[in-house]
């Protein structure tokens, strides 16, 4: 049984020595049994680090002799993530000065390195573009990052280039703009249309018990419940029947900034985002009832139709409120245009 105090991500390898293994060098025997995953030099380093036990006793000598019938347990620590390096990835820069850089992030671009995405991220692009001028408060994997957008969400993001900007922006995002220093607006293309043209969704979010990578509306008293408030306004309704629209374009303004907040909230009121692979799966077949070429566009749309249209914040050096907008990206603009002619 593993040590309850060990790292959850450590990997355990158990081997039991056979009769013919009696008297072999420990490092040679382990390397032979673990090749090609581990080299002999790596095995020796792990032994010296105390990562191997025999019937509960720690062994630190690579030349120790293997004993037949003994149970050897090797603890492989989680591999340290690589430090991100700069990559020549094109950036759509809306503004840049010594304090901040504001970009229009395309859909498909991961913000910072993580499991399965150690390269090709916004951070890699920023390191290449900005060099060592990014704020280091976020650590080597998240230099300058004070907020993020989901991989498949496009739109305006601000990144801190100075520690002063990082602290000011982090405070503004933590306060969710209640003091007037921050404004965020998103546009989403959703199935159907809310009956009220403008309203507020106040529903706490927590982890989905069926899939811990997703979020769900949960009871306020649950331990992981976090307050989540989204204000929405219907901008356009699409479809011949105005009393039963096929889809609508909605602006969402965040009072809080929870993971997947807009996606979960809109699905919660019965209007999931078009193309949303996590929270709108049950609505995918609706595309089959749409006229062409719209039906084909919706069926092939590879992401949630969500765009961060507006971001405003107070500049850390000048005190000026800076406001940036990004138009709908071509894929969403094409969908809206096709819905608009229904």
DSSP letters, 242-307, are TTS-SEEEEEEEESS--TTHHHHHHHHTT-PBTT-TTT-GGGGGGGGGSPTTHHHHHHH--S--EE
8 A C-beta contact, residue 194 and residue 232: yes
The vertex-257 CA angle with 176 and 254, nearest 5°, equals 70
Strand 306-314 with 154-160, pairing? parallel
Alpha-carbon torsion (237, 241, 242, 244), positive or negative:
negative
225-to-177, 206, 220, 279 alpha-carbon distances in Å: 21, 5, 6, 18
98-to-121, 130, 148, 166, 234 alpha-carbon distances in Å: 22, 10, 21, 12, 38
Q: Is the peptide bond before 293 cis (omega within 30 degrees of 0)?
A: yes
8 A C-beta contact, residue 171 and residue 314: no
**Quick count: other Cβ atoms within 10 Å of Cβ 127?**
22
Token pair listed for 175: 């306060």
Is residue 21 annotated as a catalytic residue, yes or no? no
261-to-98, 149, 199 alpha-carbon distances in Å: 32, 11, 15
- Of 150, 181, 276, 331, which one is the catalytic site residue? 150
**Half-sphere exposure for 107 (CA within 13 Å, toward CB):** 18
Residues annotated as catalytic are 150
């Amino acid at each position: 049984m593993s040590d309850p105090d060990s790292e959850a991500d450590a990997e355990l390898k158990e081997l039991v020595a056979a009769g013919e293994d009696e008297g072999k060098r420990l490092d040679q025997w382990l390397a032979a049994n673990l090749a090609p995953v581990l080299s002999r030099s790596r095995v020796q380093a792990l032994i010296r680090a105390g990562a191997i036990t025999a019937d509960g006793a720690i062994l630190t000598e690579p030349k120790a002799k293997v004993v037949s019938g003994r149970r050897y347990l090797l603890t492989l620590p989680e591999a340290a993530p690589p430090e991100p390096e700069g990559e020549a990835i094109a950036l759509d820069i809306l503004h840049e000065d010594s304090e901040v850089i504001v970009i229009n992030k395309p859909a498909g671009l991961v913000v910072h390195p993580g499991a399965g995405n150690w390269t090709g991220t916004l951070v890699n692009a920023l390191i290449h573009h900005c060099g060592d001028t990014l704020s280091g408060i976020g650590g080597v994997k998240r230099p300058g990052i004070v907020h993020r957008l989901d991989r498949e969400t496009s739109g305006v993001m601000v990144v801190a280039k100075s520690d002063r900007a990082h602290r000011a922006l982090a405070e503004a995002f933590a306060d969710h703009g209640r003091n007037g220093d921050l404004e965020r607006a998103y546009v989403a293309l959703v199935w159907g249309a809310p009956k009220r043209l403008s309203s507020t969704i106040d529903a706490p979010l927590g982890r989905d018990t069926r899939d811990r990578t997703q979020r769900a509306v949960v009871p306020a008293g649950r331990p992981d419940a976090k307050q989540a408030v989204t204000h929405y306004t219907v901008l356009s309704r699409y479809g011949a029947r105005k009393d039963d629209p096929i889809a609508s374009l909605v602006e969402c303004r965040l009072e809080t900034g929870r993971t997947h907040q807009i996606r979960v909230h809109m699905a919660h009121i019965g209007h999931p985002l078009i193309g949303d692979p996590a929270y709108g799966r049950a609505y995918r077949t609706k595309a089959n009832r749409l006229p062409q070429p719209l039906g084909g566009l919706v069926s092939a749309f590879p992401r949630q139709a969500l765009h961060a249209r507006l971001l405003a914040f107070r500049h850390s050096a000048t005190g000026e409120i800076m406001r940036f907008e990004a138009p709908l990206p071509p894929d969403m603009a094409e969908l809206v245009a096709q819905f608009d002619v229904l």
